Amino acid sequence: MTRVLYIDCCIRKEQSRTRRLAEAFFTALDKRSGFAVERLTLMDEPILPFQDGFFWQRERLIEAGELNHPRFRYAHQFRQADRIVIAAPFWDLSFPALLKVYIENISVQGITFDCDEQNGCFGACRAERMLFLTTRGGALEGDPMDNGTKYLGDMAKFFGIPRFDCVAADGLDLGLEPAEEILGRAVLRAEEMAKAF
Ligand SMILES: Cc1cc2nc3c(=O)[nH]c(=O)nc-3n(C[C@H](O)[C@H](O)[C@H](O)COP(=O)(O)O)c2cc1C
């Protein structure tokens, strides 16, 4: 069984076009056998940014090698997945802060990555692939101002995940073309991706 971790950061939930893209992907994936999808809806999780005692607790636990503490459960879940799918809209040239806070929480030395004198830092995750599904108001495909895709691709490398793909519906709010048509094309690409995921 291939374990797929679906990280849902579609803040607008039922109204989210990014979630529609993700649902199309998973409906297509459902038609194939051998996949077990675990969904993590970030908006429903008690995920905290690092500050004050929450930061220092982490430092103490890592120092003491107590990596089974419940606060590291997201990091263990991420490390053990065979495939990662992240769905998040394009916000402020990147993605919602909630996703960054999640990444902060899963970046734990000794779980998702490690470092030694010989190799420096290296990824420790199982996943072979990470897929990023997004929708954007403006036309940012391939634009260096799209910091979200660049950052997530770099994080995949950092975590030791060899393949990173992005499927985006681009320019949805420009009014140059009906948003439904743009989204429809992205849905087709996401469905194609699911066939060989
Ligand atoms: C808080 C916020 C910030 C946004 N920032 C950008 C932006 O920097 N550039 C852009 O092209 N679109 C931006 N948008 C538009 C969204 O990328 C676009 O509407 C997207 O499809 C929303 O996805 P959703 O329907 O899944 O919520 C922003 C939207 C919101 C609500």
Report how many domains make up the chain: 1
Distance 91 CA to ligand 1 centre (A): 5
Distance 145 CA to ligand 1 centre (A): 14
**Average pLDDT of the residues in 101-107:** 98
Q: Please indicate, yes or no, if residue 117 is contained in any of the structural domains.
A: no
pLDDT, the chain, mean: 97
- Residue having the nearest C-alpha atom to atom 30 of ligand 1: 91
Confidence of residue 116 (pLDDT cuts 50, 70, 90): very high
Q: Please indicate, yes or no, if residue 115 is contained in any of the structural domains.
A: no
Q: What is the CATH number of the domain that holds 43?
A: 3.40.50.360
Q: Which pTM was predicted?
A: 0.97
Q: Please indicate, yes or no, if residue 120 is contained in any of the structural domains.
A: no
Q: What is the pLDDT of residue 97?
A: 98
Q: Please indicate, yes or no, if residue 74 is contained in any of the structural domains.
A: no
Whether ligand 1 lies within 6 angstroms of the CB of 95 is answered as: no
Cβ proximity of 140 and 146 under 8 Å: yes
Q: What is the pLDDT of residue 164?
A: 98
Q: What is the pLDDT of residue 101?
A: 98
Q: Please indicate, yes or no, if residue 173 is contained in any of the structural domains.
A: yes
Radius of gyration of the chain (CA): 17
Whether ligand 1 lies within 6 angstroms of the CB of 90 is answered as: yes
Q: Please indicate, yes or no, if residue 59 is contained in any of the structural domains.
A: no
Q: Please indicate, yes or no, if residue 62 is contained in any of the structural domains.
A: no
Domain interval for residue 148: 2-52+83-101+130-195
- CB atoms inside a 10 Å sphere around CB 10: 25
